[in-house]
Structure 1
Amino acid sequence: MVDVRGRWALITGASRGIGYQAALFMARQGCNLILHSRNLEHSARVEREARELGVEAYAVQAELGKPQEVEAMLDEIERRGTPVDIILNNAAVQVAYRTDYWATPIGDFEQSFRINFISIAMICGRLVPKMIERGFGRVVNTTSGIRNEPEQSAYAASKAALDKYTKDLASRLDGTDVILSLTDPGWCRTDLGGPNAPDAPESAIPGVAVGAFVNDRKSGRFFHAQQFTGLSLEEAVAKAESLEAVPYTI
């Protein structure tokens, strides 16, 4: 199991919901944090709470739907000289629920892809090569189990693109100490999931973060967070490492 004490993790969407839970969980393991939100003020609480747990932390801001802001955020991290060892790409948007799904506006797809996929590709494209150079890295991209719901086709399609992107990159990293994984938090009561969701945000821990701790040089796994609820971190890592990555087949 990876010891994350003293390492640096970038967590997107860290000010609330699953991202907030993941940030404090990583801080409790001794991991230093770069906390992303759309506005620095939104991250003030989680930044303070992380520091109270004894780790270093600072906030960055970017509207992930605007590539220039994503670039500026990455530039700031680079200027600070922070070696990003772990990325938890948690932030996402569900634009709308379209009952007239044949008439889903193109704007839904554009916004969903910019935030849920393109921003993550930009983050990985900038930071993963540096992980490869340093010989260590963990990236966990948050996907979704939504299927057969054309009412949410823009959201689901953007997550499907993320799945394919992650799997394809994983094929080039398997056997290295840079590991890419996917996680699905489940349907949780967050701003995105809504108040009627069956699962509490806390139930996604440690599953949404377990990919940061696996230590067997195998990329491309999918971790359904709800299958890890109630496990200790050690138990969760052992379970995670017992799972096989499912490769694409022709």
Structure 2
Amino acid sequence: MVDVKGRWALITGASRGIGYGAAKALAERGCNLILHGRTIEHLEKVISEVKALGVEAYPVAAELSDIDSVNKMLQYIDEHGTDVDIVLNNAGLQIAYRTDYIKTPVSDYETSFVINTIAPMVILYHFLPKMEKKGFGRIVNTTSGIRREPEQAGYSASKAALDKVTMDIASKYDGTDVIISLTDPGWCRTDLGGPNAPNSPESSLPGVIVGAFVDDKKSCRCFSAEAFHGMSLEEAVDYAEKNIPYYSGSLD
């Protein structure tokens, strides 16, 4: 299991919900944090709380729908001199629920793909060569378990695309200490999941951070939060390394 104390992690969508919980959990393990939100003001609470746990942390802001904004954020991190070891691409957008799904507008796809597919991959592409050069890195992209719901076509298609490109590039790093994974937090009561979701944001832990801690040189896996419910982080990492197979993309 990786010791993250003193390492640096970038978490997108860290101001609330699942990203907020992941930030607190990593800080409790001594991991320093770069926390992303749409505005710096949205991050004041979580920055204060993780610093109180004794780690270094600073906020960054970017609109993930604007790739120029994403690139400026990445440039700022580089100029700050931070050597990023872990990336949790947590942020995402559920654009709409279309009851009349036959009339799904093209804009649902366009917006969803920029935020949920392109932005996380731009971030991955930025940090991956640096991780490869130093021989260590963990990148975890957040997917979704939504299946057979044309009402959410833009969102589900963008996440399916993210699955594909993540696993394709992960295959190139399997067997190295740069481990690339997916995580599925489940349907949680967040701004994205809505108030009627069956699960609390807290239920996503430790599943959404397992990919930062696995230490077996195996990429190409999806860590579903449901599989780790009720486990300690140590138990979850052990279970992941012994029992989670390569991700097949199966609908079952």
TM over 0.5: yes
In the alignment, does 2:145 pair up with 1:134? Answer: no
Q: Which residue of 2 aligns with 1:229?
A: 229
For 1:215 and 1:125, locate their aligned partners in 2 and report how far apart those are by CA, in whole Å.
22
Q: Which runs of 5+ in 2 are unaligned?
A: none
Aligned pairs for 1:107-126 (under 5 A) are: 107-126=107-126
For 1:128 and 1:29, locate their aligned partners in 2 and report how far apart those are by CA, in whole Å.
23
In the alignment, does 2:55 pair up with 1:55? Answer: yes
SS of equivalent residue, structure 1 residue 9? strand
Q: Over aligned residue pairs, what C-alpha RMSD do you find?
A: 1.0
Q: 1:123 to 1:98 in 2, by over 3 A?
A: same
For 2:111 and 2:211, locate their aligned partners in 1 and report how far apart those are by CA, in whole Å.
27
Q: Which residue of 1 aligns with 2:246?
A: 245
- The code of the aligned residue for 2:219 comes to S
The CA deviation string for residues 147-188 of structure 1, in whole angstroms up to 9 with x for no partner, is: 000000000000001000111011100011000010100011
Aligned pairs for 1:38-117 (under 5 A) are: 38-117=38-117
TM value normalised by structure 1: 0.98
Aligned pairs for 1:192-231 (under 5 A) are: 192-231=192-231
- Give the number of equivalent residue pairs: 249
For 1:99 and 1:236, locate their aligned partners in 2 and report how far apart those are by CA, in whole Å.
38
For 2:169 and 2:94, locate their aligned partners in 1 and report how far apart those are by CA, in whole Å.
25
- The code of the aligned residue for 1:134 comes to K
The CA deviation string for residues 55-81 of structure 1, in whole angstroms up to 9 with x for no partner, is: 000000000000000000000000011
In the alignment, does 2:24 pair up with 1:16? Answer: no
- The code of the aligned residue for 1:123 comes to I
Q: Give the superposition deviation at 1:229.
A: 1.8
- The code of the aligned residue for 1:167 comes to M
Structure 1 stretches of 4+ moved >6 Å? none
Q: Which residue of 1 aligns with 2:176?
A: 176
Q: Which residue of 1 aligns with 2:32?
A: 32
% identity of equivalent residues: 63
Q: Bigger CA drift: 237-246 or 136-145?
A: 237-246
For 2:50 and 2:169, locate their aligned partners in 1 and report how far apart those are by CA, in whole Å.
31
Q: Which residue of 2 aligns with 1:146?
A: 146
For 2:206 and 2:112, locate their aligned partners in 1 and report how far apart those are by CA, in whole Å.
26
For 1:216 and 1:144, locate their aligned partners in 2 and report how far apart those are by CA, in whole Å.
24
For 1:246 and 1:94, locate their aligned partners in 2 and report how far apart those are by CA, in whole Å.
23
TM value normalised by structure 2: 0.97
Q: Give the superposition deviation at 1:246.
A: 3.4
Q: 1:58 to 1:230 in 2, by over 3 A?
A: same
Q: Which runs of 5+ in 1 are unaligned?
A: none
SS of equivalent residue, structure 1 residue 173? coil
